[in-house]
Chains A and B, each alone.
Chain A
């Protein structure tokens, strides 16, 4: 029996789709059978982030309406053994499916997959309600900015009202240089405000954009910090204890000196 995890945030643009793509890929690389569901009907994006946009024949709405069998709508990712994508419909809207239909879909997928990851649309309306309907667990993605944290708090409240208690938090796009200056809320600040458990921290990383340009998840980049963070998060989902990337490393005098001369911010996380 698989586990259905919804990835949500309230606010748009904080990295739900990137997070879904990378956690899913990392879980598949760890030998699990994974399906990614793009629940953002009308604004599908998980397909392009995954580089699978040219392979779509049927979509989520087709599968729900019985236009095709569920299996026909699943796109197998040939690069990663065990990874599948159920794309969103692009020409329909959020009302094309109901929470009950999503529930049924998830139940069916649970029989065949270890992990079902649902990429939720932004907002708290129908699309969000659909995305959480069949979920057993929730991951809330936020960035350390007031607007995103406020929306995350609202989402955590709504999840609790839907019996999805104890969601796990991912703090995305953390910039250590700004944290050091005191110009960005750190992990402790964010956790303190939201009062939920931390699943992981993803540093701001240019590789994310480079990867999505190419349609290749950043977890495959051995040297990317964000990739490492996503690999760690996936390990935690598999029940392993992986320490957080150390964020509060004090610079040694030599490091400070080197940075001063190189002008680069090559910190380790």
Chain B
């Protein structure tokens, strides 16, 4: 019975699929000539700028390069950031 479940589980976690997913991700960085360190620098700068206007949750800050698949099967890279806001600061608001 155990073997049976093992068999089922294996179907969902083939090593070639792991290889493919890892390659896709690493190639996004390779092709854009961007290293994780570079991404950290971008993240640091974004935090600096945004913090002037709002208080953000730095621990929840998520930034990554991704790729967008178009209808013609081509891909383009995209920088995707998810930045949780704790509170808006009072500057820049239209106080009438």
Q: Which residues of chain B from 1 to 39 have a CB within 8 Å of any chain A CB?
A: 10-11, 14-17, 19-20, 22-24, 26-27, 30-31
Instruction: Please report whether the interface of chain B is mostly helix, strand, loop or mixed according to DSSP.
Output: helix
Q: In the docked arrangement, what's the CA distance between A150 and B29, Å?
A: 11
Number of B residues with CB within 8 Å of any CB on chain A: 16
Q: In the docked arrangement, what's the CA distance between A195 and B24, Å?
A: 11
Contact B26 A150 (CB under 8 A): yes
Q: In the complex, what's the smallest C-beta–C-beta distance from B26 to chain A, in angstroms?
A: 6
Closest residue of A by beta carbon distance from B11: A182
Q: In the docked arrangement, what's the CA distance between A245 and B17, Å?
A: 23
Contact with B along A152-163 (1 / 0, CB 8 A): 011001000000
Contact B19 A185 (CB under 8 A): yes
Number of A residues with CB within 8 Å of any CB on chain B: 19
Instruction: Please report whether the interface of chain A is mostly helix, strand, loop or mixed according to DSSP.
Output: helix
Contact B27 A186 (CB under 8 A): no
A193 part of interface (Cβ distance < 8 Å): yes
Contact B16 A193 (CB under 8 A): no
Closest residue of A by beta carbon distance from B14: A182
Closest residue of B by beta carbon distance from A149: B23
A150/B30 contact (C-beta < 8 A), A193-B23, A193-B24 known: yes
**Cβ contacts under 8 Å, A52 to chain B:** none
Contact with B along A179-211 (1 / 0, CB 8 A): 101111110010011010000000000000000
